[in-house]
Amino acid sequence: MKILFAASEAAPFAHTGGLGDVIGALPKALGRLGHDVRLIMPLYRTVDAQRHQLRIVTSGLSVPAASSPQAVDVLEGNLSSEVPVYFVRHDPSFDRDGLYQTASAEDYPDNAERFALFCRAALEVCRQVDFQPEVLHAHDWQTALLPVYLKTTLYNDPFFQKTATVFTIHNLGYQGLFPSEVLPKLMLPRELFTPAGLEFYGKGNLLKGGLLFADLLTTVSRRYSQEIQTMDQGVGLDGILRERKGDLFGVLNGIDPEEWNPADDPHIVAHYTIDDLSGKARCKTDLQERFKLPVKATVPLLAVISRLVEQKGLDLLRDILETLMTLNVQLVLLGSGGKELEATFHEAAAKYPSKLAVRIGFDVPLSHQIEAGADLFLMPSRYEPCGLNQMYSLVYGAIPVVRATGGLDDTIAQFDPVTGQGNGFRFEDSTADAFLQAIRQALVLYHEKALWHRLITNAMAADFTWDRSAREYGQLYRHAAEKKGKQ
């Protein structure tokens, strides 16, 4: 099939987290299955045009905008040999320090206009390169207007007459909420600015547009697709999602084995496999040295790589930290986010320098080194649409301790020492006590050498490659196209 991916970020060009990882990998897996996949994204200042060998396709392409048509340039690169990538260059919108926020972590006030322009540009680029997608796959609020445009202002456009739309919610908590006065700038019919349309408690909600107008909806795990239909996790949109439950599917994300594989990872000091784990011990020593922790092979080394926000449950870690530091463990933490949590963990690291080490920031090579060197990986998320770190951890033999929610529930099975089945440790209640109990269970098993080895081999044997997910998406694309054909 001919498939256009539209997204606001993609690794390795520009990304801030899980969305970029997904967009950097899933199109490649679909391309390997024989689909004609193209990706389009904005050309940010951080995209290294020379390194990625970008070339200009067209200059001065006219794109409709609220005030007057805007001229954009289109550049082309490659995600892989199977997947071309188109970049929309509009310097007033995208030549900035950050993708979505200023250096002081404030959202750009014109984000709605920026990404509305990108959505319209994506459609004009399709015409320019004569690519008529059978399926347009949009991701998160930044591209949620694409299904809206195709079902409203461009409904009778013959070029897109057969284009079905699939909209993926990577995290329902990020909805693209803007003051109501922004809505007229989005080039949409006025009748959409009602509670039945994009209005949401007096504001404009871009993600809501994708939920209402896309032919099919997906989320990034089966459990999360169920959770977001509840008042607890529906973030005000559960009613719409329940109404559309027949069009809502959960497809678990995957991981890229070219990027995450301890057998040939260029970022780690020693390579290892499920059949030869000796390199993991060397990686643990390297990690302890990097974080200036005592080099002790027998001490369980726990790890966290996370945004330091409430969603990720890092306040639960804060609440058990004093108790945890009384145990025979070491803990390394890499992340950034809430200033209070950052300060709390920094202070604790100063108090327990031989047990706790903290690095504030985003560091891809270091995240690989942490996964390779850690014995246990902690993810106490309050909600987790999919989660990728628990999958990375499994592949690297860092045993996950997770809260059973969203994709964590779909991927981590409680280890049973009697049957030898399972790949990690889970807890149900989002409480500090439940989290601590799960960690204690893991620490007891850590000292049972035979059982721990069985657990690591179970973890590393798991298959979470993108090929599995791509096959599921291929079936959904055919379903979307068939549904579109009946409209």
Phi-psi sector, 135: left (phi>0), alpha (psi -120 to 50), beta: beta
- pLDDT band at 358, cuts 50/70/90? very high
Q: Is the dihedral of CA 22, 28, 34, 40 positive or negative?
A: positive
pLDDT tens, position by position, 109-154: 999 999 999 999 999 999 999 999 999 999 999 999 999 999 999 9
H helices present in 327-465, as ranges: 339-351, 364-373, 389-395, 406-411, 432-446, 449-460
Whole-number pLDDT of residue 463: 86
pLDDT-based confidence at 360, cuts 50/70/90? Answer: very high
Q: What is the pLDDT of residue 289?
A: 98
Give percent above pLDDT 90 in the chain. 89
What is d(CA 179, CA 200) in angstroms, rounded to the nearest whole number? 10
Per-residue pLDDT band at 211 (split at 50, 70, 90): very high
Q: Please count the CA atoms within 13 angstroms of the CA of 158 that sit on its side-chain side.
A: 0
β-bridge partners, 89: 73
Tell me: the pLDDT tens digits for 255-311?
A: 888 889 999 999 999 999 999 999 999 999 999 999 999 999 999 999 999 989 888
Confidence of residue 16 (pLDDT cuts 50, 70, 90): confident
Banded pLDDT at 4 (limits 50, 70, 90) = very high
What digits encode the pLDDT tens for the residues 316-355?
999 999 999 999 999 999 998 888 999 999 999 999 999 9
Please give the Cα distance from 22 to 378 (Å, whole number).
22
User: Residue 486: what pLDDT?
Assistant: 76
pLDDT over 80 at 228, yes or no: yes
CB 371 within 8 A of CB 398: yes
**Mean pLDDT across 31-54:** 96
pLDDT at 338: 83
Cβ contacts of 392 within 8 Å, gap of 6 or more: 255, 260, 371
Sheet holding 356-360, edge to edge: 356-360, 330-337, 301-308, 376-379, 399-403, 425-427
User: How high is the pLDDT of residue 326?
Assistant: 97
Q: What pLDDT, on the 0 to 100 scale, is given for residue 462?
A: 87
In residues, how long is the chain? 487
CA atoms within 13 A on the CB side of 70: 22
Angle between helices 18-32 and 466-485 (to 10 degrees): 80
Mean of the per-residue pLDDT values of the chain: 95
pLDDT at res. 309: 85
Give φ, ψ of 304 to 5 degrees: -135, 130
Q: In whole angstroms, what is the distance from residue 288 CA to residue 301 CA?
A: 9
**Residues whose CB falls within 8 Å of the CB of residue 153, separated by 6 or more in sequence, listed in order:** 187, 188, 189
pLDDT given at position 56: 97
Alpha carbon 178 to its chain centroid, in Å, reads: 23
pLDDT digits (tens, 9 = 90+) for 422-472: 999 999 999 999 999 999 999 999 999 999 999 999 999 988 889 999 999
For 397-415, what is each residue's pLDDT tens digit? 999 999 999 999 999 999 9
Closest-CA residue to 348 (of 378, 322, 376): 322
11 and 24 in contact (C-beta within 8 Å)? yes
pLDDT at 47: 97
Domains and CATH numbers, the chain: 2-254+467-485 (3.40.50.2000), 278-463 (3.40.50.2000)
Q: Are 184 and 154 in contact (CB under 8 A)?
A: no
How is 132-163 classified by DSSP, letter by letter? --SEEEEETGGGTHHHHHHHTTTTT-GGGTT-
pLDDT category at 182 given cuts 50, 70, 90 is: confident
pLDDT digits (tens, 9 = 90+) for 192-203: 999 999 999 999
pLDDT at 180 over 90: no
Contact between 373 and 287 (Cβ < 8 Å): yes
